[in-house]
Structure 1
Amino acid sequence: MARTPPSSPEAERSVLGAMLSSESALLEGIETLQESDFYLMEHRKIFRAMLRLFERKANVDPITLADELEREGVLEQIGGRAYISTLMDSVISPSLIQEHANLVQEKSIYRRVIEVTDTILAEAYKEERSADDLLEFAENRIFEIRQGRIRREFVHVGEVGEKVFKNIESLSSDPKAVPGVRTGYRDLDELVMGFREGNMIVLASRPSVGKTSFMLNIHYHLSAGDSKVPTAIFTLETGLEELVTRFLSMVARVDSRKIYTGRLSRNDLARLADAVSVLKKAPIFLDATPAISLTELKAKARRIVRDEGVKLISIDYMQLIRGPKSENRQIEVTIVSQSLKAMARELGIPVLVLSQLSRGLERREDATPRLSDLRESGSIEQDADIVIFLHRPEIYAESLATRNIVEVHVSKNRNGPTGKTRLTFIKEFTRFESYTEEEMVDYSDFGEDLSF
């Protein structure tokens, strides 16, 4: 026996009646509901007629509504003028429209979930899709329901002004404070003023320059320090064990080559054991799903922010995210870039996205990265709030003056200046440290040399 889909005809009548009796209720109903939210077909036709009147800037009342329905030839289908009168009688109070509209919308969501579930079941029974494709299909259909229900209200400028002023007061009380999440590098923090809520920050370089290591250093500074800020990393290119090995090398100051070969001194093992203890206490959460879909990444990001209070998400790297199938790669990367920016705003946290650079820069005499070098899509530059390039001059022209130096170029900064700063990169430990003009430290004292 077929079951009747969820609905509330009484609430539907009350909403339509309130919209006919009050202009404020009319606006509330139009903002909250869609035609498909109504279960009864006659109510959909009435709501559609109201929208047409509203769009023509005509009065919306029982008389104009009846005339509009008659002009469309559907007045008798909805029960005639008598039924419109019953709508007016169904109104308890126009002020209750929001409560009743929410009930109508809730029933609509139930029906939509049932429809989507039936579609997913039908696709599963066909067995024509791969399991991964079916899961992505199911996630997309459910996500579309949620996205269709996101409602943004106008906010008075004064309310926002009060919030901004509180932040200003907080910053003014601490001369060293920055408005965003700190990277742990003073010169960079002063330049970009930290990574701000809702911002998408793109970190890009050519391979082997150190962008993944730089990302790990930022997470370590945030999560392993006194503040213990929860952070999360999506690592699409590097496996979990390799990534944590880099963390251990960085924290313990043990040459990563020794770790990979197991040729370690007692002192190295002791420092690594201490590093493991440090990482156990650090709220850093890792996901190493290879070729993760955009939908799955966003779902996991929402969950980790909700459950663990994560304040920074990093993605290594953008071009490995599997976006919606498109006719060309550039459109796919554009969709991924725009979606990550929207995700940052939705979650209200900074999202650090690593990206590749085109090989073209290596054919130039000056190999310093430019915004035009961002690979596969100009949308990355457009969507990003901050674009940071890492450049190691010693790769292109070895000299003592540039040894272990990494230039950090802030080439786009939506909320501040652009500029350049320098860091010292200790490759053996995958570690970045503040740059100093003083003589370079010999880091070989931290462990025995290993011959290859």
Structure 2
Amino acid sequence: MSHNAKTMPHSKELERLVLGAVLTDRNTMNTCIELIPDLDFFYDIRHQQIYQSLLNLRSKDFDIDLMTCTQQLRQEGHLETVGGAIYIAELASLVNSGLHIESHIRKLQEAYIKRRIIVSADTLLQQAFDPGTDALENLADTQVEIMRLAEILDKKGEHSMYQVVDTTLKDLVAKSKGQELTGIPSAIRAINTITAGYQPTDLIIVAARPSMGKTAFALNEVRVAAIQYQVPVAFFSLEMSYVQLGKRLISSETRIDSNTLKKPSTLSDFQWQKLATDTAKLSGAPIYVDDTAGLTIMQLRAKAARMVAKYGIKLIVVDYLQLIKNPAYKNREQEISSITRELKLMAKDLHVPVIALAQLSRAVEARGDKTPQLSDLRESGAIEQDADIITFLMRPEYYGMTEDEDGYPTAGLTKFIIAKHRNGDLGEIWLEHDLPHNLYGDIGTLSRETSMPVSQFEQEPTHNFYEKDDDMPF
């Protein structure tokens, strides 16, 4: 039966009690702001308008009481709409204090969630009858809404100092035993040393100018995480097809040059044999590619939620940020701001790290020093605010710099710059790259595998793969 045939779950009396408590006890407004994030928590439209006026008063740092609320509604032109000064006075007379306001709000939350479930179910039913809709998309949209509603009931509160100290000590003990890797491991030991792996709920930006190797870097991270650790990964490619990505991954596994794979008629018998044997691990790797072009941010979130539920995804990669759309915004800066905010919310809601590749502006090319800066991020303000980690890739040899500032050769090297790290150190790391095979590694690791000359950097060569640890946190 349609929800229109029944009265939606609500309690106008509880709504009146909550508003009356705010008008009577100024301290209750803090509880409301924390537990009522949406005007729709109030079913009665009059109560929505009154609550909005109370929020407006609070934003101006005005005292909240019967008189100020009445005056605010009058100034906004809504006093008569909500029932006049008499109705506001009635609300204020209902309670003497805000003693029970939190329990009242919790009951309003339950009614609100039930209403949202009914609406979602009704929408899902209508879409199911529409032959033109995608069933998986419908389920994903519903799942995102359900996860959002669950988050309302699962608000994290304050932690006692006992909890803080106990958790911190356990973290220190784990690190003292060499268990520093608490997130999804990078293929690069030096990156793991700084980040302890890619942490759940983090939004990580990997930005660079075109041709610096962003996609190659991301695929290298994905391949190592999925093959070496069996970490399920979702890769959203808004620019390249899944076949193009597949060729790059196959090139990494077989060490057959990407350009050679573009001309299969030139492959030798030995190379065909390698394709048959060396791709076995890759075929079984838990990597799931979505190459839908022109994705909106809400479509991406819905798809990601479905893949997390279906495949147990632990890492999400997006290539690349500026190709995502949000039709709700005409202004590009506001659009990027909404997209980065939604990516961060996606990381938190799904409890996975999200790596988003990003394009840098041409300002880098105009400077003598080609080292990227935060200001080089297009629409950088929003990205810088929402991201937990912002990194840059820069290949000095691309700009004709054959040596670094200390005189070491830069051929085959990429500078990995950590420009923002909300929970850790900043710094620069030199990586070895083999772009024809889409490979990155610590200094000295690729040279043994690819016939590249060993780097002259004074760094102990270490292999960039690790043994699977049964105690890893995923």
TM-score, normalising length: structure 1: 0.73
Partner of 1:449: none
| 1:230 matches 2:232 | yes
- Count residues with an aligned counterpart: 409
1:336 partner SS: helix
Once the two structures are TM-superposed, the CA of residue 324 in structure 1 deviates from its matched residue by 3.2
Q: 1:288 aligns with which of 288, 291, 301?
A: 291
Partner of 2:422: 414
Asked if structure 2 preserves the Cα contact closer than 8 Å seen for 1:178 and 1:189, the reply is yes
| 1:181 matches 2:184 | yes
Shift of the 267–235 alpha-carbon distance from structure 1 to 2, 3 Å rule, reads same
Asked if structure 2 preserves the Cα contact closer than 8 Å seen for 1:29 and 1:97, the reply is no
Shift of the 427–94 alpha-carbon distance from structure 1 to 2, 3 Å rule, reads closer
Asked if structure 2 preserves the Cα contact closer than 8 Å seen for 1:38 and 1:104, the reply is no
After TM superposition, the structure 1 = structure 2 runs for residues 358-437 of structure 1, keeping only pairs within 5 Å, are: 358-397=361-400, 399=402, 401-436=409-444
Q: 1:260 aligns with which of 259, 262, 276?
A: 262
Partner of 1:171: 175
Once the two structures are TM-superposed, the CA of residue 251 in structure 1 deviates from its matched residue by 0.9
Cα distance in 2 for partners of 1:290, 1:419 equals 34
Once the two structures are TM-superposed, the CA of residue 211 in structure 1 deviates from its matched residue by 1.1
1:224 partner SS: helix
Alpha-carbon displacement from aligned partner over 1:321-344 (angstroms, at most 9, x marks no partner): 012343322221122122212222
Q: Kindly provide the amino acid, as one letter, of the partner of residue 347 in structure 1.
A: L
Q: Kindly provide the amino acid, as one letter, of the partner of residue 424 in structure 1.
A: E
Shift of the 150–437 alpha-carbon distance from structure 1 to 2, 3 Å rule, reads closer
Unaligned runs of 5+ in 1: 59-68, 86-92, 125-130, 445-452
Alpha-carbon displacement from aligned partner over 1:317-374 (angstroms, at most 9, x marks no partner): 0000012343322221122122212222222221111011112212222212222211
Cα distance in 1 for partners of 2:445, 2:126 equals 65
Asked if structure 1 preserves the Cα contact closer than 8 Å seen for 2:186 and 2:198, the reply is yes
Unaligned runs of 5+ in 2: 67-81, 404-408, 453-474
2:262 partner SS: helix
After TM superposition, the structure 1 = structure 2 runs for residues 107-256 of structure 1, keeping only pairs within 5 Å, are: 107-110=114-117, 112-113=119-120, 147=148, 150-151=151-152, 152-158=155-161, 159=163, 161-174=165-178, 177-225=180-228, 227-256=229-258
Partner of 1:5: 6
Asked if structure 2 preserves the Cα contact closer than 8 Å seen for 1:25 and 1:97, the reply is no
Alpha-carbon displacement from aligned partner over 1:392-432 (angstroms, at most 9, x marks no partner): 11111164822211111122222222211212211221111
Partner of 1:90: none
Once the two structures are TM-superposed, the CA of residue 213 in structure 1 deviates from its matched residue by 0.6
Cα distance in 2 for partners of 1:180, 1:241 equals 29
Shift of the 116–366 alpha-carbon distance from structure 1 to 2, 3 Å rule, reads same
Across the aligned residues of Structure 1 and Structure 2, the Cα RMSD in angstroms comes to 4.7
Alpha-carbon displacement from aligned partner over 1:182-217 (angstroms, at most 9, x marks no partner): 212111221333222221111111111211111111
Partner of 1:65: none
TM-score, normalising length: structure 2: 0.70
Asked if structure 2 preserves the Cα contact closer than 8 Å seen for 1:136 and 1:293, the reply is no
Asked if structure 2 preserves the Cα contact closer than 8 Å seen for 1:37 and 1:108, the reply is no
Asked if structure 1 preserves the Cα contact closer than 8 Å seen for 2:413 and 2:431, the reply is yes
Partner of 2:282: 279
Once the two structures are TM-superposed, the CA of residue 143 in structure 1 deviates from its matched residue by 6.3
Asked if structure 1 preserves the Cα contact closer than 8 Å seen for 2:9 and 2:112, the reply is no
The farther-off stretch of 410-419 and 213-222 is 410-419
After TM superposition, the structure 1 = structure 2 runs for residues 64-79 of structure 1, keeping only pairs within 5 Å, are: 72-74=85-87
Q: Kindly provide the amino acid, as one letter, of the partner of residue 85 in structure 2.
A: E
Cα distance in 2 for partners of 1:280, 1:383 equals 35
Once the two structures are TM-superposed, the CA of residue 104 in structure 1 deviates from its matched residue by 2.7
Cα distance in 2 for partners of 1:323, 1:138 equals 21
Q: Kindly provide the amino acid, as one letter, of the partner of residue 199 in structure 1.
A: D
Asked if structure 2 preserves the Cα contact closer than 8 Å seen for 1:139 and 1:295, the reply is no
Percent of aligned pairs with the same amino acid: 28
Cα distance in 2 for partners of 1:146, 1:288 equals 25
Partner of 2:112: 105
Q: Kindly provide the amino acid, as one letter, of the partner of residue 306 in structure 2.
A: R
Partner of 2:345: 342
Q: Kindly provide the amino acid, as one letter, of the partner of residue 282 in structure 1.
A: A
Q: Kindly provide the amino acid, as one letter, of the partner of residue 116 in structure 2.
A: I
2:279 partner SS: helix
Partner of 1:89: none
1:251 partner SS: helix
Cα distance in 1 for partners of 2:206, 2:296 equals 21
1:339 partner SS: helix
Q: Kindly provide the amino acid, as one letter, of the partner of residue 413 in structure 2.
A: I
Once the two structures are TM-superposed, the CA of residue 147 in structure 1 deviates from its matched residue by 4.7
| 1:311 matches 2:314 | yes
Shift of the 285–120 alpha-carbon distance from structure 1 to 2, 3 Å rule, reads closer
Partner of 1:62: none
Asked if structure 2 preserves the Cα contact closer than 8 Å seen for 1:205 and 1:389, the reply is yes
Cα distance in 1 for partners of 2:102, 2:342 equals 38
Higher radius of gyration, 1 or 2:
1
Alpha-carbon displacement from aligned partner over 1:202-249 (angstroms, at most 9, x marks no partner): 111111121111111111111101x31111111111100110110000
Asked if structure 1 preserves the Cα contact closer than 8 Å seen for 2:41 and 2:109, the reply is no
Cα distance in 2 for partners of 1:189, 1:229 equals 16
2:352 partner SS: coil
Once the two structures are TM-superposed, the CA of residue 267 in structure 1 deviates from its matched residue by 1.9
1:72 partner SS: helix
